[in-house]
Amino acid sequence: MQPIMTIAEVEDLMVEVFPHAARSYRLEELGSMTAKLRMVPTEDNLRPGGSVSGPTLFGLADCAMYYAVLAMIGPEVLAVTTSSSIDFMRKPAAGKDLIADVELLKMGRSLAVGDVKITSEGQDGVVARATLTYSIPPKR
């Protein structure tokens, strides 16, 4: 399944409906059931010990999945996360961008399921992996 929106169309949509996300993330690639999102962590994203916080990584994974789903089905902005599991495995490198790679495993009419792997630029190994399920509102 190929995306039906371009990178620019998805980004313009986010500026309009989700400016908080548009400021934090940059959509870099869209492919067949895949997407790549980039984030530059700031001071606000750190937790005690100086590592990127869990909610920051969860937010990146969740938005990466949101961008990927919308790119595939069009601007169904009311698609919402219904469940997720996430594993935090490595501390990301300090001061480096975070990259989220989405692989959609199922794109049904009412549910989408995808895996997201987050890496730290220039560092081997996965920082965090998440699986997310989105519920897609019925067509009116």
Binding-site ranges for a copy of itself (CB under 8 A): 17-18, 20, 44, 47-49, 51, 53-55, 58-59, 62-63, 77-78, 80-90, 105-106, 111, 113, 115, 117, 125-126, 129, 131, 133
CA distance 125 to 11: 28
**Residue 71 beta carbon to a copy of itself: minimum distance, rounded to whole angstroms:** 15
Report how far residue 73's alpha carbon sits from residue 92's, in angstroms, rounded to the nearest whole number: 32
Nearer to a copy of itself, 94 or 105 (CB): 105
Q: How far apart are CA 119 and CA 133, in angstroms?
A: 21
Minimum Å gap between C-beta 87 and a copy of itself is 5
Neighbours of 65 (CB within 10 A): 28
